[in-house]
């Protein structure tokens, strides 16, 4: 019977595509800006687009990026947006550019714990609360991966669930007054001390977990979407690695609604009609079943994915969902996360002042520093430093010229900015030597386990020096310190890409938007 059902489903899908091709579509490419969690759904959307003879493009952005673009004067270069949650539309789309928003799936954010770790904690086969998670973190038995709450929806969802459960449970809708409670701040701050790696992308974080497992680094756990925990487990099993055991905190879980919305920007009726047909296609039963097979919860009758008993994943499980607060309260909660509750960062900035940076490159670098070290500007996009953060700055060329150190205090940032500006471009380039010096200083920092460390190479990427020596030393340092790159001018990214790949980092393109590139990099630290 199973082959017959599959054949009937295929016929139904084919008929749906045939019927959907009867209408007209836009002549220009249809642009979708989406959260990274939807990469697995892109092929399904592309099938529909091909059936209509329309070119559809996907651009993947973080939740905050999508929100900021919607709230900007320029608007967003998209015909549709597909963030993980309506929260980011509600927070930033004050001009109501997005219309006809439809939830495509529900995605609870849960904690995936390495099976052997879950067994050691006694969590297999019993309900687990956020208080249990807190106890494991405080006792030193649990660390986890989690995206930045101010840059990615999965991190924001986990954080809002932490706040809500600290207030007493899912039935409580958080208010602005609740955010000033010291007991709540203490509880959530203690929970966030368990973060071992952060990121600005849920998909990237899941890929990091899989890549690290293949290379022998076993992280304890990861906060992420239920569907991405499933995708991660599929990849882990295929590689012969230990799967994650799903923990659904019994006292409250935040659920993302995966809204697909049309961006009204005067491109005509055909474009809007195409969007509505796409939504109809995605909500049809044969397509909904395919989406459900990815582990997503579908708001359509009995369409659900099969449970996986060994990993405790069950998309049909009833959840204790938290009540999301008003958008203004969410914004205040995100400000609180960034300015007070998140785990402090220990960030080394290697600033390229070599001769190849003279002119435009040097001007861009100084503009980026002004953004990085000016609290009011950084706070506008939720990447401001806190007094507990440590900032190390290394102007370099063929050698490291000096080391500048400051806390995240505004006065200290201003002094650091003035000192860094005394440099000018001259000499050769050795970004590897700067990264090596920064790595050595991070390792020697007292209490470094209480920080999220990172090295950021701000350079045009044209370097002499010994990359292999840097990587050899990096491999001996645990926990590992990621090395990120931000590009300038007419950058050569090949060397930066190699370093980032070897150190579980990432390269951000600052050639057109330096502030945006640094903001993205801060989401990983």
> Within a domain: residue 453?
yes
Distances (CA, A) of 187 to 94, 131, 166, 181, 461: 33, 9, 7, 10, 42
Contacts of 50 (CB under 8 A, 6+ apart): none
What does the alpha-carbon distance between residue 254 and residue 162 come to, in Å, rounded to a whole number? Answer: 9
Contacts of 68 (CB under 8 A, 6+ apart): 92, 381
Distances (CA, A) of 84 to 139, 145, 269, 387, 443: 33, 18, 26, 31, 37
Average pLDDT for residues 345-353, to the nearest whole number? 95
Number of CB atoms found within 10 A of residue 478's CB: 8
CATH assignment of the domain containing 478: 3.40.50.410
Q: What is the mean pLDDT of the chain?
A: 91
Global pTM reads 0.90
Residue 323 binned pLDDT confidence (cut-offs 50, 70, 90): very high
Backbone φ and ψ of 123, nearest 5°: -95, -10
> Within a domain: residue 499?
yes
Q: Using alpha carbons, select from 173, 205, 189 the residue that is nearest to residue 109.
A: 205
Chain segment 72-104, per-residue pLDDT in tens: 888 899 999 999 999 999 999 998 999 999 999
pLDDT at 496: 93
Q: Tell me whether residue 251 is exposed, middle or buried, using C-beta atoms within 10 angstroms of its C-beta: 0 to 12, 13 to 18, 19 or more.
A: buried
Torsion of CA 301, 306, 307, 311, to 10 degrees: -140
Residues 70, 18: one domain?
yes
> Within a domain: residue 174?
yes
Residues 21, 56: one domain?
yes
Domain range spanning residue 64? 2-105+258-306
pLDDT at 358: 87
Average pLDDT for residues 468-486, to the nearest whole number? 93
Secondary structure (3-state) at 85: coil
What does the alpha-carbon distance between residue 518 and residue 379 come to, in Å, rounded to a whole number? Answer: 13
> Within a domain: residue 478?
yes
The alpha carbons of the chain give a radius of gyration, in whole angstroms, of 24
β-strand partners of 145: 197, 222
Average pLDDT for residues 15-20, to the nearest whole number? 48
pLDDT at 64: 85
What does the alpha-carbon distance between residue 114 and residue 329 come to, in Å, rounded to a whole number? Answer: 34
Q: Are 41 and 20 in contact (CB under 8 A)?
A: no
Residues 146, 228: one domain?
yes
Chain segment 273-301, per-residue pLDDT in tens: 999 999 999 999 999 999 999 999 997 65
Q: What percent of the chain has pLDDT over 90?
A: 74
Q: Are 115 and 242 in contact (CB under 8 A)?
A: yes
> Within a domain: residue 401?
yes
The b/e string for 110-141 (b: 16+ C-beta within 10 A; e otherwise) is bbbbbbebbeebebeeeebbbebbbebbeeee
Average pLDDT for residues 193-211, to the nearest whole number? 95
pLDDT at 2: 44
- How many CA atoms, within 13 angstroms, populate the side-chain half-sphere of residue 21? 13
The pLDDT of residue 7 is above 50: no
What does the alpha-carbon distance between residue 336 and residue 185 come to, in Å, rounded to a whole number? Answer: 9
The pLDDT of residue 42 is above 90: yes
Q: Using alpha carbons, select from 486, 161, 517 the residue that is nearest to residue 348.
A: 486
Q: Are 291 and 41 in contact (CB under 8 A)?
A: yes
What does the alpha-carbon distance between residue 500 and residue 455 come to, in Å, rounded to a whole number? Answer: 10
Residues 467, 356: one domain?
yes
- DSSP H or E segment with residue 452: strand 452-459
Q: What percent of the chain has pLDDT over 70?
A: 94
Residues 43, 178: one domain?
no
Q: Are 285 and 303 in contact (CB under 8 A)?
A: yes
Chain segment 353-402, per-residue pLDDT in tens: 999 888 888 888 888 889 889 999 988 888 899 999 999 999 999 999 99
Question: Locate tokens 């010994």: which residue?
Answer: 466
Chain segment 404-435, per-residue pLDDT in tens: 999 999 999 999 999 999 999 899 999 999 99
Residues 67, 35: one domain?
yes
Residues 289, 322: one domain?
no
Residues 132, 59: one domain?
no
Q: Tell me whether residue 264 is exposed, middle or buried, using C-beta atoms within 10 angstroms of its C-beta: 0 to 12, 13 to 18, 19 or more.
A: middle
Chain segment 134-162, per-residue pLDDT in tens: 999 999 999 999 999 999 999 999 999 99
Which pair of structure tokens corresponds to residue 433? 């030597």
> Within a domain: residue 339?
no
β-strand partners of 108: 255
What counts of helices (H) and strands (E) characterise the chain?
Answer: 20, 17
Residues 243, 293: one domain?
no
CATH assignment of the domain containing 269: 3.40.190.10
Q: Using alpha carbons, select from 22, 85, 51 the residue that is nearest to residue 287.
A: 51
Secondary structure (3-state) at 34: strand
pLDDT at 304: 66
- How many CA atoms, within 13 angstroms, populate the side-chain half-sphere of residue 169? 5
The pLDDT of residue 10 is above 80: no
Residues 441, 482: one domain?
yes
Q: Tell me whether residue 472 is exposed, middle or buried, using C-beta atoms within 10 angstroms of its C-beta: 0 to 12, 13 to 18, 19 or more.
A: exposed
β-strand partners of 486: 458, 508
Beta strands (DSSP E) in 12-52 are 30-34
Residues 379, 421: one domain?
yes
> Within a domain: residue 237?
yes
Q: Are 391 and 413 in contact (CB under 8 A)?
A: yes
Chain segment 46-73, per-residue pLDDT in tens: 999 999 999 999 999 988 889 989 998 8
Secondary structure (3-state) at 256: strand
Residues 273, 321: one domain?
no
The tally of domains found in the chain comes to: 3
> Within a domain: residue 481?
yes
Question: Locate tokens 């490159």: which residue?
Answer: 361
pLDDT at 162: 98
């Amino acid at each position: 019977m199973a082959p017959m059902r599959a054949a009937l489903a295929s016929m139904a899908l084919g008929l749906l595509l045939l019927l959907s091709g009867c209408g007209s579509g836009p002549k220009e490419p249809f642009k979708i800006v989406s959260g990274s969690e939807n990469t697995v759904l892109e092929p399904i959307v592309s099938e529909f687009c091909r059936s209509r003879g329309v070119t559809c493009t996907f651009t993947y952005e973080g939740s905050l990026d999508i929100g900021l673009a919607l709230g900007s004067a320029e608007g967003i270069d998209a015909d549709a947006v597909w963030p993980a949650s309506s929260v980011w539309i509600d927070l930033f789309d004050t001009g109501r550019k997005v219309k006809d928003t439809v939830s495509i799936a529900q995605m609870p954010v849960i904690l995936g714990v390495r099976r052997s770790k879950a067994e050691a904690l006694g969590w297999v086969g019993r309900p687990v609360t956020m208080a249990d998670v807190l106890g494991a973190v405080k006792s030193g038995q649990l660390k986890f991966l989690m995206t930045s709450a101010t840059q990615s929806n999965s991190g924001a969802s986990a954080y809002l669930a932490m706040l809500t459960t600290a207030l007493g449970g899912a039935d409580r809708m958080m208010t602005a007054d609740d955010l000033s409670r010291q007991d709540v701040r203490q509880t959530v701050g203690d929970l966030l001390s368990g973060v071992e790696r952060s990121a600005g992308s849920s998909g990237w974080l899941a890929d990091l977990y899989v890549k690290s497992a293949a290379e022998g680094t076993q992280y304890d756990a990861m906060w992420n979407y239920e569907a991405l925990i499933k995708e991660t487990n599929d990849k882990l099993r295929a590689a012969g690695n230990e799967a994650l055991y799903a923990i659904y905190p019994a006292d409250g879980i935040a659920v993302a609604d995966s809204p697909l919305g049309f961006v009204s920007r005067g491109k005509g009726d055909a474009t809007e009609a195409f969007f509505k047909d796409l939504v109809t296609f995605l909500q049809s039963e044969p397509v909904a079943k395919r989406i459900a097979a990815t582990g997503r919860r579908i708001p359509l009758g009995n369409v659900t994915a099969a449970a996986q008993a060994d990993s405790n994943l069950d998309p049909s499980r009833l959840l204790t969902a938290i009540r999301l607060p008003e958008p203004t309260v969410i914004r205040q909660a995100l400000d609180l996360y960034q300015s007070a509750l998140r785990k402090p960062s220990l960030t080394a900035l290697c600033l390229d002042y070599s001769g190849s940076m003279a002119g435009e490159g040097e001007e861009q670098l100084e503009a980026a520093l002004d953004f990085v070290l000016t609290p009011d500007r950084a706070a506008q996009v939720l990447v401001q430093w806190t007094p507990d953060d440590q900032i190390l700055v290394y102007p370099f060329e063929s050698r490291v010229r000096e080391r500048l150190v400051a806390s995240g205090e505004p006065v200290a940032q201003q002094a650091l900015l003035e000192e860094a500006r005394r440099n000018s471009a001259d000499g050769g380039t050795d970004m590897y030597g700067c990264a090596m010096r920064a790595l050595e200083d991070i390792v020697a920092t007292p209490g470094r386990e209480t920080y999220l460390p990172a090295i950021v190479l701000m350079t045009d990427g044209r370097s002499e020096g010994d990359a292999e020596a840097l990587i050899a030393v990096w491999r001996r340092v645990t926990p590992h310190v990621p090395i990120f790159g931000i590009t300038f001018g007419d950058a050569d990214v090949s060397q930066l890409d190699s370093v980032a790949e070897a150190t579980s980092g990432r390269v951000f393109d600052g050639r057109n938007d330096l502030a945006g590139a640094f903001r993205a990099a801060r989401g990983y630290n």
